[in-house]
Amino acid sequence: MRLGSIFLFVALCSFTAYYIYEPIPEEIEERWKLMLTNSFFRSLSHLADLSELLGLKDYMGVMYFITLAEKVVPVSDEHVKVTEEKFDGVEVVLYQPKQRSGTELRRAIIYLHGGGWCLGSSRMSPYDLLARKMVTELDSVVLSVEYRLAPAHHFPVPYEDVYRVVKHFLQKGVLAQYSVDPGRIAVSGDSAGGNLAAAVSQQLQKEPGQQVKLKAQALIYPVLQALDLNTPSYQQNQDMPILPRTLMVRFWSEYFTSDKALFRAMMANTHNNPESSSLLKFVNWSAFLPETYHKKYNYSAPAVVQGVGGEAVGMDGPSRSFADPRASPLLVPDTALHSLPKAYILTCEYDVLRDDGIMYVTRLRAAGVEVTHEHYDTGFHGGLMFTVWPTDFLIARRMTDNYVKWLKENL
């Protein structure tokens, strides 16, 4: 009996070690903490797959537990006044300093949370803490947008929610109500939020009657294109923790449709059709990635097929959506870039989205836009979110501090 118990204990320990351990690059700090953190994500992902297979609940519905687990009720404290409001019908959380610094108008940051357009909330603890940090250290107003999520609301609904909020906030009367300087406003976001921030920045400059302009855009490991899901960073980091390639592809497909045909085609990188193929030149990583990021990979243009993965999809459906610059901001021509506001772009070496951000840096600079590119050689996707115990990473603190410092110096 005792021998059997010892065997069971050893077997359990071996299974646990096997499940937790992952071949994470040695350069990454706090590797075991990342392994432990990711074991939770993987467990939840496996549970979500099983739930969907059994017809109990869809994959994203189960994964939404991550959002619920981190949710807080944003409340005012001694330094920050917090209110929950609606701007043009969209829920927002507004953070303001409690003390006025004379009559001087304040900066404002419109912040868009990440989560692959399917998960996340402005009311999650890490975003709440980040907003408070920006308010207290920058003496700024922070507007955090609670846009609707896929798969319940496919593209372009999340984008349109964000755009309506930005347009509403940039009215001079609204800015005056919150003591905001019209010349010191930035839009910012991480991951899918970075995608929305970039798309909003592009669309806003097209508005002929727009009086108040954005001064800056700050994009944290943004996702910027859906045409080539086989860039060097997608290949190098396909099994990296937090955001493996399979999950990012699933986020993309769910953003557009619940039809699994698109997911299968995107996984094979065979989702481009003749319409989108004409835009592949804007995401040609062999042209826009510095040589150091090519590594062992050789460029091969994504296949172009009729329909999606051999299954007919109307041109008014998903196949048109992923060629829309509002979904893939990298797809705009160079002429649409030169008048964009100055940019801060953060990328991480161990992130499938690394090359999206770096290609945008290259294209923006070529168009004459002032760009600050901060690349973390030991960084991984989602770092900005890991600032709360027990998943508080040292690199997350550095990312956050440097990001806020840039805003202070440039806004």
What's the rounded Cα separation, in Å, for the pair 385 and 370? 27
Distance of CA 164 to CAs 86, 112, 134, 178, 311, Å?
Answer: 11, 13, 23, 18, 35
Which residues on neighbouring strands pair with residue 186, listed in sequence order?
109, 216
Element containing residue 112 per DSSP (H, E):
strand 106-112
Burial class of 44 by CB neighbour count within 10 A (0 to 12, 13 to 18, 19+): middle
Helices (H) and strands (E) in the chain, counts: 16, 8
Catalytic residues: 191, 351, 381
What is the DSSP code (8-state) at residue 326?
T
d(CA 225, CA 359): 10
| Residue 156 preceded by cis peptide, ω within 30 | yes
Give DSSP secondary structure letters for 45-81.
HHHHHHHHHTTSS-HHHHHTHHHHHHB------SSEE
d(CA 59, CA 49): 6
Contact 52, 110 (CB under 8 A): no
Q: What's the CA gap between 1 and 191, in Å, rounded? A: 52
